[in-house]
Structure formats: C-alpha cells, structure tokens
Chain A
Amino acid sequence: QVTLRESGPALVKPTQTLTLTCTFSGFSLSTGGMCVSWIRQPPGKALEWLARIDWDDDKYYSTSLKTRLTISKDTSKNQVVLTMTNMDPVDTATYYCARIRSVPPGYFDYWGQGTLVTVSS
C-alpha cells in the first residue's frame, strides 16, 4: 500500500525559507524508475508542478522557480525534502508530494493529502 504524507510549517514569514518533508511508504526511491515530485496549488487556483527527484538522484525544477528550489532525498528514511527560499505571500498554497514511476502509468499515481502553507508576516 503506497502512502505519502507532507509535513512542514503551516505559517512562514516573508523572506524566510520553507522546508517541506514528504514521508512515504509502500515503495523505495532506491528502486529503478521511482520518482517523487512536489506540486502546489494556491487557494482556488490550478496545480503547479515544482520539482522532481528520481531514483538515480536526477533532479528537475520548474523553470520559473528553479533559483529558489532544492529537492533532495534520504532513501534510508523514505523521505524527500523540498526547500524554497525567499518566501512571498504569493507562495501561499497547498503543497503536495506525489509519486511517479517511469513505467506506466508514468504520471502522478499516488498523492499525499497536501499541506497548506501560508506566507504572512
């Protein structure tokens, strides 16, 4: 049974760095073809893909946010961590982590429940 769970602060101040952790079970990021992504969704708005890390430690980032994002993994803990620097109120959103496999379906087949992050002073 695959599960993912996001954790991190619910409130951050402008200019601070956000650190989110995705803790998962039911698969291993040391298995070939496994990947984890972060996606966010501002209240009432559309989904926005942020970053992805693969089993072989390849990393991919949103073009518009790449200077602010860092994704990493701790395979032994079954965790993926996303950091986002210089937070702004427009970054207020629900942040999701999701699994992808390189084999079919090859898309986000399991998601966490999401964690709402509010950026406010």
Chain B
Amino acid sequence: EIVLTQSPATLSLSPGERATLSCRASQSVSSYLAWYQQKPGQAPRLLIYDTSNRATGIPARFSGSGSGTDFTLTISSLEPEDFAVYYCHQRSNWPLTFGQGTRLEIK
C-alpha cells in the first residue's frame, strides 16, 4: 500500500500570503496524484488532478507540481475561503490512498 505523508500538519498563514503544501509518497505514483479541499461539515472538493491540472471551476491561484514521490500544492495568494483542510490522493496503485491532511488556518 502506498503511504502518502503530508507536511506540515498545520500551516498558519494570513490572507494574501503564499501557501505551499507537500505530499510525499512511499513509492512512485508517477503523476497520478490529486488534491482535495475540505471545509468543516462538507464533502471534499477536487482541486487538482494528475499532479497539475485544475479541476473544473478551480481558481488559477491553485497550482500543483511534482512527480514520482514528491508533490506540492501551491496557493499563490490566500483568500479567506481557502482556509480548510487539504488532502492528497493517489490512484497509481491499489488500494487507493489519501494523505492524512494539512490544516490551513488563519494566522
């Protein structure tokens, strides 16, 4: 099973700042990695798929990069609605797995 390790566990930033979230896989997932955003009481929302492709309706301030085992989600300038929990997810190998999440909180 591929383990996805996200860092940091919590990230405290202010609106307007740049956020960088990391996801490391225990073995290569090629480019088959996605990012989801989850707000309290809501289902996750797909942000980025296959490492760097924005899902439908996702603002351009969200971008993804990486390959193999190391991936990054970047939010270029934080908006108030961006403070949430973010999960990475791989579909390279069965079983599908998620990271443990990064909580992005307002500083």
Query: Which residues of A are interface residues toward B (Cβ below 8 A)?
Result: 37, 46-49, 52, 60-63, 96, 98, 104-109, 111-114
Which chain B residues numbered 1 to 29 have a C-beta less than 8 Å away from chain A?
1
Could you say which of B44, B55, B94 contacts A111, with CB atoms under 8 Å apart? B44
A46-B99, A104-B53, A109-B55 known; A60+B44 contact, CB < 8 A? no
A107–B49 CB distance below 8 A: yes
Interchain CA distance A104-B54 in the complex, whole Å = 11
Residues of A within 8 Å of B99, CB to CB, are: 46
Specify which chain B residues have a CB less than 8 angstroms from the CB of A109 in the assembled complex: 46, 55-56
We find that the number of chain B residues with CB closer than 8 angstroms to chain A is 24
Distance of A49 Cα from B94 Cα, bound (Å): 10
**Is residue B34 within 8 Å, beta carbon to beta carbon, of the partner chain?**
yes
A61, A96, A105: residue with the most chain B Cβ atoms closer than 10 Å: A105
* B99 shortest CB reach to chain A, Å: 7
Pairwise interchain contact B95-A47, C-beta atoms closer than 8 A: no
Interface assignment of B106: CB less than 8 Å from any CB of chain A: no
Contact A47 B98 (CB under 8 A): yes
**When the two chains form their complex, are residues B43 and A114 in contact, meaning their CB atoms are under 8 A apart?**
yes
Q: Is the interface of A mostly helix, strand, loop or mixed?
A: loop
Contacts of B46 in A (CB 8 A): 105, 107-109
- A105–B43 CB distance below 8 A: no
8 residue pairs A–B, Cβ–Cβ below 8 Å:
A37-B96, A46-B98, A47-B101, A52-B96, A105-B53, A106-B91, A107-B34, A108-B89
CA distance A109 to B29 in the complex (A): 20
B50 near A: Cβ within 8 Å? yes
In the assembled complex, B30 has its CB within 8 A of some CB on chain A = no
Q: How far is the CA of A46 from the CA of B62 in the complex (A)?
A: 22
A63 in complex: contacting residue of B1, B34, B45, CB < 8 Å: B1
Chain A residue numbers with a CB within 8 Å of B36 are: 47, 108
| Beta-carbon contact of B50 and A104 below 8 Å | yes
List residues of chain B with CB within 8 A of the CB of A104.
Answer: 49-50, 53
